Amino acid sequence: MPKRRSLRMLLFVAAAAVLVFSVRFGFAEAWVDQYAWPSSEMSELPVSAAPAAVQPKTEPRPDIPLKPQAVVLSNRVTEYHISVALDDQNGSLTGEQTVTWKNPGRKSVSELYLHLYPNAFSPGSTFIKESNGQLRGDKMKQGSFGNMELTSMTTEEGETLMPRLHYVQPDDGNKNDKTLATFRLPNPVKPGSSVTLRMKFTVKLPDVFARMGKAGDFVMAGQWFPKIAVYETAGMRGRATEGWNLHQYHGNSEFFADFGIYNVRINVPASFKVAATGFQTGTPVVSGGRKSFQFYADDVHDFAWSASPNFEYVEDSFSSPGIPGVRIKLYLDPLHKDLKDRYMHAAKSALAKLGEWYGEYPYSTLSVVVPPADGNGAGGMEYPTLVTAASARDDNPGYELERTLVHEIAHQYWYGLVASNEFEEAWLDEGFTSYTEDKLMSSIYGVLPNIPIEASYLTHPEPLNQSSWRYSSSDGYAENVYLRGKLVLSSLERQVGDKTMSKILRTYFQNYKFKHPSSSDFQKVVETVTKTKWTDFFQAYVQQGQMTDFAIDSINTRKAEDGEYESVVLLRRNGGSPQSVSIWFMFEDGQSVRKKWDGTQTHVQLQLKSSTPLVYAAIDPSLNVVLDNRRYNNYLQSEVPKEERTRFATGITQLIEGLFGTMAW
């Protein structure tokens, strides 16, 4: 009994210490009630203290506060407390932040690095040079530049660090690129210790382009604050020694950051509605024609927000197996206000499937922003607990509405929770998400991908585990990271079966959520689940830019002395890793024979005897080899002279039947 009392006293003292410490960061209110409503009660509890019997029915509002959960899911390396104000007249942000960084390594750290992403929109930046002012079909408007200026940076004691700040360009040496900066700390940060810095900054928003900017009254703030780079520990993603992971903002690449806590106050004109990562911890405060929103998110690696006075707001609560309870919040462009049921159905259905297939969605909100037509550059993007759908270009879109939305929601798992390094191995996010998108569209809407046609688009395959800016072009990046990455997973699925593939992906998600895995980590999971080595597969398709090319190389048929026909068929595997493939032989009398080749050798000769001549041979007639992008050599006739033999693709009819599906980024 005395031991229990002592333990209770220690717990009480610890809780009191946390509460007192949190006051300095403005967290006192958030910690008053640490627990959110259980999912089973979310749809039943009233939103105010008024009795249910007399509670008037009102439209849902985006400003109903929630409270943080008292569960730590990640290592929480960073902690941001940010206050930002939007000047809607000149399209600028003014902000200040207090950020705490904890050293996760085993060595003292003397320098910190900051990503200043808005400088990608400045003249001469690496991003503009590499993209030529174009991304995903959008063009940067002439003269519509943006930038970030860090106006103040001090220690907790008030010592200025601005004279120490300088820009670095580790990837290309472009001195005009200011998207990555570094500075030396007054005192090294010891392992397990932390440092707290105070910063002030301004951001000039470009016209909406590449996930960022303004379009009329619409604002998309993505990658908008000074963000500390990732310090990788030894062993992380196969790293031999610990150190900073440092890259500029490139034309193709997206982002990489540590998990942490975000406490963000956003000040906008009073007429604006705000969608943001996380949830509100208090009712918005209106003063002097302005409105301040307070948002909180933990165990996330980024924070984004969007604002507009024109949003049509819709919300609903949702729970299912794997989804304990989520408030789904729609911020619709007025043109799509009558499509709210389609958006809500897609969001609920996608979450339900993801929770069932991979595991729990651990957050209490999911916000969906639909940009206006002139804000297309903000559409189709993922952030923790917030996604942007395709822009509202017409009032009756086809399945691209659902496809884009389920793709971005799938990102909540592979980008948001698994959080691989998009600078260096983007396929682990985009390829996995595109694969999952196909699964969702098939399961929910019965829309199936045309894989043979998609494979035929792969004209310039490149390695998947290379840095995003190393691809030959933006088209090459998209072709490989999105499409080929997806097809690599589809090929794996065909070889191991649906059930085993589901187990592989669930195991991978469960083992590596919040841990920033690598391609080799995924390979380990595949080998553990299948109890088979997959070295050849990963070397060919991930580490090298290979495709599979099975071919009927030649057919030689002659009539033997006994009156029967002898045929020698030469099969080849030109690239790719070994896998079993079927061959179909058709004879003049209408008889057919099917055989299997294990594909282990690069070539093999098959000998057949028959009563009538062999007419033709076809390899992989059922189109089971996903990564074969040269099907014109899968068929060969034998009765015509060698110099007149014609080849044609066994999948030619699919060219007429199917169109390449839209890919959401």
Give the list of residues 6+ apart from residue 473 with CB closer than 8 angstroms, or none: none
Q: DSSP assignment, residue 441? A: I
Residue 548's nearest CA partner among 619, 499, 607 is 619
C-alpha to C-alpha distance for 351 and 327, rounded to whole angstroms: 12
Q: Which residues are registered as beta bridge partners of 306?
A: 220, 275
Can you say which residues are annotated as belonging to the binding site for Zn(2+)? 407, 411, 430
> What element of type H or E holds 408?
helix 400-411
C-alpha to C-alpha distance for 299 and 278, rounded to whole angstroms: 10
Give the list of residues 6+ apart from residue 20 with CB closer than 8 angstroms, or none: none
C-alpha to C-alpha distance for 24 and 81, rounded to whole angstroms: 11
Can you say which residues are annotated as belonging to the binding site? 407, 411, 430
Cβ-contact 575, 548 below 8 angstroms: yes
Q: DSSP assignment, residue 117? A: G
Cβ-contact 451, 590 below 8 angstroms: no
Coil vs helix vs strand at 18: helix
Give the rounded distance of the alpha carbon of 656 from its chain centre.
32
**Is position 482 annotated as part of the catalytic site?**
yes
Coil vs helix vs strand at 385: coil
Other residues' Cβ atoms within 10 Å of the Cβ of residue 38: 11
C-alpha to C-alpha distance for 60 and 155, rounded to whole angstroms: 43
Cβ-contact 438, 449 below 8 angstroms: yes
Strand order through the sheet with 565-573: 550-559, 565-573, 603-610
Residue 217's nearest CA partner among 331, 367, 366, 361 is 331
CA-based radius of gyration for the chain: 28
Structure tokens belonging to residue 488 = 């690599």
Cβ-contact 357, 341 below 8 angstroms: no
Catalytic residue among 482, 508, 541, 635: 482
**Is position 632 annotated as part of the catalytic site?**
no
Q: What share of the chain is helix, strand, coil (3-state, %, to 5)?
A: 30, 30, 40
Coil vs helix vs strand at 554: strand
Catalytic residue among 130, 312, 408, 462: 408
φ/ψ of 43, rounded to 5, equals -85, -5
> What element of type H or E holds 409?
helix 400-411
- Catalytic machinery residues: 408, 482
